[in-house]
């Protein structure tokens, strides 16, 4: 078992108490092709919309998505947005919601209008009351939070300055957590870090850090120097400054700063990336990992999150694929078990702008000829999917004496090759159905075929793709190898 798998097992046993400002995030997607005749503003032709649990609720969703349990305390109004949020959170099996309702204030709601074609945010409309919760609501929040501290492995305060995390709530929670020996992570909004005094870790972004410390924060040394004064003020053990494409820097009270560069990724939407970082830091630290491990996991999770539209969550499988070198993935993780799983991988790769290639065959006994084709195929793309004939398909094509190895064995051998990114088993005589689903940018076959003989060539060509024929190695074929083995020759 890998260290990553061991970490995931530990994460599954952790519970995070998350407290913060809950929001309803709505995204309205459409195309912009004209300017309004009524005013010089673009007109968006709405095509679809979606809702997400946002703010601290997105932190809770990320905690649950990565495999931990989350006790979530937040505030809603007595309105439709509040009822929608309650219903959405109730669907999350790993989240235990303890929502306090304040009929005197609206549920925080943000509607973003997004150009589908350019993935550009055009406008955001907000419904909110950002004032601090009343003393009565403060007490109700504390009555919900404090009894849960004993159950939690770590506490995460997600401050969006919408009124939940008042100075009284923050101080009471941190004091009670420290008495129980519980670490507290704060994703801060206030420039006055002193209100978070006693927390274990503060995770400001660069803009928040600059505002709070009045420093340039242009280099790791700048951040380290300014963070020492800020940590003394906040009496915290460490400070993590996130810097978008420039990575993240952790400065401990004792020891050297740790900097983790950002992972290269095609950014689609940065909404909620900070939520993902805070959530992953919390669960990985709660699982017993050190600062560096937690930072690397958080950096990888952020890279996954910003490659998606909207306020997105990160799954263990996505995190695994981002953290581990691709060749280190276990063979079974490369073998696709369903069409839905294939679609998920394809969507992920295309969000990252990766070029997908495809080749296929029976691969009954893997030989150098196969390896040459697979290596050449992988060299022509960023990710290679291999279509593998099922046992029944091989029998129809090759006769009842074939295959020599069953489909699972053949799939595992292929998946063990570094050149292969996914193996998809198909039951038809040809991979046409699979090719239609994948629509690869590159379709590869051995040079013993002509372009017109390659199944699916017209589908790939119609989408501007490439058909690549690789010269075969003479003297190698599975059929001849099988015949030699049966004759007892070498």
CA-to-CA distance for 185 and 175, rounded, in angstroms?
13
The response to whether 245 counts as a known ligand-binding position is no
The response to whether 62 counts as a known ligand-binding position is no
- State yes or no: is 275 an active-site residue: yes
CA-to-CA distance for 277 and 257, rounded, in angstroms?
18
* Contact by Cβ (8 Å): 53, 85: yes
CA-to-CA distance for 133 and 138, rounded, in angstroms?
6
CA-to-CA distance for 369 and 327, rounded, in angstroms?
21
Neighbouring CB atoms inside 10 A of 30's CB total 18
Which pairs from 418-421 meet CB under 8 Å and 24+ separation?
418/326, 418/327, 419/371, 419/374, 419/375, 419/377, 419/378, 419/384, 420/334, 420/374, 420/378, 420/384, 420/386, 421/326, 421/334, 421/378, 421/383, 421/384, 421/385
Among the options 187, 275, 364, 421, which is catalytic? 275
Neighbouring CB atoms inside 10 A of 130's CB total 12
Closest by CA to 207, choosing from 223, 194, 231, 225, is 223
Residue with tokens 């309702």: 101
For residue 234, the number of C-alpha atoms closer than 13 Å in the C-beta half-sphere is 33
CA-to-CA distance for 302 and 86, rounded, in angstroms?
26
CA-to-CA distance for 153 and 184, rounded, in angstroms?
10
**Structural element, H or E, at residue 86:** helix 80-90
CA-to-CA distance for 99 and 74, rounded, in angstroms?
5
The response to whether 360 counts as a known ligand-binding position is no
Strand-strand pairing, 442-446 and 422-426? unpaired
The response to whether 206 counts as a known ligand-binding position is yes
Tokens of 116: 């589908």
What's the burial of 93, exposed, middle or buried (CB within 10 Å: 0-12/13-18/19+)?
A: exposed
Q: What does residue 248 show for φ and ψ, rounded to 5 degrees? A: -145, 145
Binding-site residues for ATP, in ranges, read 205-208
Q: Which residues are catalytic?
A: 275
Binding-site residues, in ranges, read 205-208
């Amino acid at each position: 078992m890998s260290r990553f798998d061991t970490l995931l097992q530990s994460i599954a046993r952790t519970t995070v108490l998350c407290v913060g400002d809950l929001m309803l995030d709505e995204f309205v997607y459409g195309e912009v092709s004209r300017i309004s005749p009524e005013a010089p503003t673009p007109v968006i032709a709405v095509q679809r919309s979606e809702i997400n649990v946002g703010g601290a609720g997105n932190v809770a969703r990320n905690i649950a998505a990565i495999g931990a349990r989350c006790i979530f305390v937040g505030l809603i109004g007595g309105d439709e947005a509040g009822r929608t949020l309650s219903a959405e959170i109730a669907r999350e099996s790993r989240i235990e919601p303890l929502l306090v309702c304040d009929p005197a204030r609206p549920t925080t709601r943000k509607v973003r209008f997004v150009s589908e074609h350019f993935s550009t945010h055009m406008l955001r409309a907000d419904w909110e009351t950002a004032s601090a919760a009343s003393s009565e609501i403060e007490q109700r929040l504390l009555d919900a939070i404090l009894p849960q501290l004993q159950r939690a492995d770590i506490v995460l305060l997600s401050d969006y300055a919408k009124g939940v995390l008042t100075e009284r709530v923050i101080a009471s929670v941190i004091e009670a957590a420290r008495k129980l020996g519980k670490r507290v992570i704060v994703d801060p909004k206030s420039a006055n870090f002193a209100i978070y005094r006693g927390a274990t870790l503060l995770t400001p972004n660069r803009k928040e850090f600059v505002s709070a410390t009045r420093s340039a924060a242009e280099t790791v040394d700048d951040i380290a120097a300014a963070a020492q004064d800020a940590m003394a003020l906040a009496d915290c053990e460490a400070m993590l400054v996130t810097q978008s494409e420039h990575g993240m820097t952790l400065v401990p009270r004792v020891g050297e700063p740790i900097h983790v560069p950002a992972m290269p990724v095609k950014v689609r939407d940065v909404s909620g990336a900070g939520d993902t970082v805070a959530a992953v830091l919390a669960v990985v630290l709660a699982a017993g990992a050190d600062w560096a491990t937690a930072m690397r996991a958080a950096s990888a999770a952020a890279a996954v999150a910003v490659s998606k539209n909207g306020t997105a969550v990160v799954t263990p499988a996505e995190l695994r694929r981002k953290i581990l070198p691709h060749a280190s993935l276990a063979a079974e993780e490369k073998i696709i078990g369903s069409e839905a799983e294939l679609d998920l991988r394809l969507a992920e790769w295309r969000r990252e702008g990766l070029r997908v290639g495809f080749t296929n065959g029976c691969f009954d006994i893997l030989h150098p000829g196969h390896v040459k084709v697979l290596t050449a195929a992988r060299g022509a793309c960023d990710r290679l999917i291999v279509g593998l004939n099922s046992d029944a398909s091989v029998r129809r094509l090759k006769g009842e004496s074939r295959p020599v190895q069953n489909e699972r064995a053949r799939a595992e051998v292929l998946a063990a090759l570094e050149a292969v990114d996914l193996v998809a088993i198909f039951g038809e005589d040809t991979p046409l159905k699979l090719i239609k689903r994948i629509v690869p940018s590159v379709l590869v076959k051995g040079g013993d075929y002509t372009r017109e003989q390659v199944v699916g060539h017209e589908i790939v060509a119609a989408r501007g793709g490439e058909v690549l024929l690789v010269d075969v190695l003479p003297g190698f074929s599975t059929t001849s190898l099988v015949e030699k083995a049966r004759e007892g020759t070498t």
